[in-house]
Amino acid sequence: MKPSPTPVPHYRWNELPQEPLRGTISRRVVTGERMMIAHVYLKKNDDVPRHSHENEQITYVLEGALHFWFGEDGAQELTVRAGEVIVIPSFLPHRALALEDTLDVDVFCPPRQDWLAGTDAYLRR
């Protein structure tokens, strides 16, 4: 006899709590054992300060546009618009500015422990 399967978690974005952050940035997060996905909501001119983390990050812009600066000196710049995806390697410093109201999907591996613990000071008010 097969063991009963583990229940599969099921979420609806609009039913998840929306966590307010700096400026008018907010997010909703779903986490698994080895990865995390988040909806990040930004209004035009919201700024995500330069930071880095051990987690590999995939950012998919669903609506709007984000301008990124990469590296210690911010020398590499890139604008990511709706329908576009970037992969940010582990430990690469990066900053983002919302060029318009934006919804992006961020996927992290492993999950961002600083987000889960609330110790992500760079994003806090």
Closest CA relative to residue 89, chosen from 102, 117, 70? 70
- Which amino acid would we find at residue 116? L
List the domains of the chain with CATH numbers: 32-123 (2.60.120.10)
What pLDDT, in 10s, does the model give residues 42-93? 999 999 999 999 999 999 999 999 999 999 999 999 999 999 999 999 999 9
What pLDDT, in 10s, does the model give residues 9-51? 999 999 999 999 999 999 999 999 999 999 999 999 999 999 9
